[in-house]
Amino acid sequence: MPANWNEFFQVADKMKAAGIMPIAMGGQPWQDLTLWEDVVLSRGTDFYKKAIVDLDQKTLTSPQMVQVFDTVRKIQGYFDSGRTGRDWNLATTMVIQGKAGMQFMGDWAKGEFAGANKKAGTDYICAPVPGTEKAYTFNVDSFMFFQQKGQKAATPGQLALAKTIMTPAFQEQFSLNKGSIPVRLGVSMDKFDDCAKKSYSDEQTTIKSGGYVPSLAHGMAQGDAVAGAMTDVVTKFMNSSQDSKSAVTALANAAKTK
């Protein structure tokens, strides 16, 4: 697996020469932003935190951020022309069927491989984006319980559902089917495949090292207004011939959205 972007593009070129589309990519704004934030993370967790969590203007307008957009533009050169409007799972299917070599996606994509009876470590490999080996972006499914009329606290039914969701047995079964790892710590990983075990290990390591960061693309790092404005900038860039410096200026302005 490529350890840096130079190696990544070398691998992509070899795939292209062999008649394999290097990168399967969908055409939705959140997929654009997922790829972009992956490249941001490859610049280091400190850079990621300053840019995406702190919205530091100096970082957002830095030469490093221009390089982020340059890298994204180069990655785009390995997409196919039919990605417009494509769902993520259809892009995953292209990898499963051998029509494409790689995909930038969260571990939920593993559920598609499992559904196609593909085995992790044998039929496909899960690997960190080049340069992100010591970092980890998290995205957590969330449940909200609304206060009921006449009730000052959660109802017995709400508490029962919350407790059930967080039991080790439920966390294990849900994650095995979805392809994710349990959100609850301490759940046995014995039944999980190589990809999940590596993901869980990386999560624990980065929690301790400070490399554990929230995803912007999946609603963890910023509120809807800022996230939406920054998404629009990235999507516009990826669907036009806009230059990287102009995109960086637009990104910095989007971060000021109230």
DSSP classification of residue 153: S
Question: Closest by alpha carbon to 104, among 185, 61, 40?
Answer: 40
Give the pLDDT band (50/70/90) at residue 199. very high
What pLDDT score does 206 carry?
96
For 113-123, what is the mean pLDDT? 93
The class that CATH gives domain 5-142+211-254 is alpha beta
Give the pLDDT band (50/70/90) at residue 185. confident
What pLDDT score does 152 carry?
82
- Say if residue 250's pLDDT is above 90: yes
Alpha helices (H) in the chain, listed in sequence order: 5-17, 29-41, 45-48, 57-60, 63-76, 88-96, 110-115, 156-165, 168-178, 194-209, 224-238, 244-254
For 234-239, what is the mean pLDDT? 97
91, 95, 164, 238, 239 from 100: Cα distances, Å? 8, 5, 39, 20, 21
* Lowest-confidence pick of 1-15, 61-75, 105-119, 223-237: 105-119
pLDDT in tens, 215-233: 999 999 999 999 999 999 9
* Lowest-confidence pick of 77-91, 104-118, 138-152: 138-152
pTM of the predicted structure, to 2 decimals:
0.93
What is the rounded CA–CA span in Å between residue 231 and residue 32?
Answer: 8
- Say if residue 153's pLDDT is above 90: no
DSSP classification of residue 54: S
What is the rounded CA–CA span in Å between residue 227 and residue 33?
Answer: 10
What pLDDT score does 2 carry?
93
Q: CA torsion sign, 73 to 78 to 80 to 86?
A: negative
- Amino acid making up residue 27: G
% of the chain beyond a pLDDT of 70? 100
- Bridge partners for 136 per DSSP: 212
What pLDDT score does 143 carry?
86
Give the pLDDT band (50/70/90) at residue 209. very high
pLDDT, greater one: 143 or 234: 234
Sequence ranges of the domains in the chain = 5-142+211-254
Q: Which helix (H) or strand (E) holds 137?
A: strand 136-138
For 172-182, what is the mean pLDDT? 91
What pLDDT score does 177 carry?
87
- Say if residue 244's pLDDT is above 90: yes
What is the rounded CA–CA span in Å between residue 238 and residue 250?
Answer: 13
